[in-house]
């Protein structure tokens, strides 16, 4: 395991859960990541997914809807984006894809480091689609920090995930790798 002292301080990650469920395992994974993040790393949560209007390119102009402005502001204000999203009907959840569509017209995501955490070993289709979408959007997908964290069931909350030795270690290493990639000087 990497020592936390090797990490710079003042790194801000934006955690975005692709699920609208109140007791989402995807959200629990992100909350566990916040508990396990190295000191000096702040994990902020984007909570406006359900407030975003349906994407309409006609409304993506110099005055987009307020929730879109807030999403873009949140992405622009962070050093990296941490995503955990479910798979529905063998694809990316519609509400999360809608958020990504609103980011296409902005300048906040291209080049931004992004890590994807998949909370289900069975959810391979959405994970692959999400990586293609993010690549198409010119996000800087950090592969060594993007993992599948196979939860044993949907009943684990953030504290239980952080307390599980195996899950916590895999998640901690992913967050450390993500933080290192963000802090590394450009080549």
- The structural domains of the chain, ordered by start, are 4-183 (3.40.50.360)
pLDDT digits (tens, 9 = 90+) for 100-143: 999 998 999 999 999 999 998 888 999 999 999 999 999 999 99
Residue 6's CB is within 10 A of a number of other CB atoms, namely 11
3-state DSSP percent of the chain in helix, strand and coil, to 5 = 45, 15, 40
Task: Give me the pLDDT at residue 85, please.
Answer: 95
pLDDT at residue 8 greater than cutoff 80: no
Task: Give me the pLDDT at residue 6, please.
Answer: 53
Task: Give me the pLDDT at residue 187, please.
Answer: 47
Task: Give me the pLDDT at residue 181, please.
Answer: 96
- Among the ranges given (33-37, 76-80, 85-89), the one the predictor scored with the smallest mean pLDDT: 85-89
Task: Give me the pLDDT at residue 119, please.
Answer: 93
Measured in degrees and rounded to the nearest 5, phi and psi for residue 51 equal: -90, -10
């Amino acid at each position: 395991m990497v020592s936390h002292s090797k990490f710079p301080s003042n790194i801000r990650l934006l955690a975005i859960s692709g699920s609208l469920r109140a007791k989402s395992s995807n959200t629990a994974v992100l909350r566990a990541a916040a508990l396990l993040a190295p000191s000096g790393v702040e994990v902020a949560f984007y909570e406006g997914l359900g407030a975003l209007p349906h994407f309409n390119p006609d409304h993506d102009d110099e005055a987009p809807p307020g929730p879109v402005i807030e999403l873009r502001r949140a992405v622009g204000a962070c050093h990296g984006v941490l995503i955990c999203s479910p798979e529905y009907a063998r694809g990316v959840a519609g509400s999360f894809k809608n958020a990504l569509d609103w980011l296409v017209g902005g300048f906040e995501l291209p080049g931004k480091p992004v890590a994807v955490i998949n909370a289900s070993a069975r959810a391979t289709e959405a994970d692959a689609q999400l990586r293609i979408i993010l690549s198409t959007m010119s996000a800087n997908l950090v592969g060594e920090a993007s993992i599948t964290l196979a939860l044993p069931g949907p009943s684990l909350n953030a504290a239980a995930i952080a307390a599980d030795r195996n899950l916590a270690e895999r998640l901690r290493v992913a967050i450390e790798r993500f933080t290192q990639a963000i802090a590394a000087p450009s080549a």
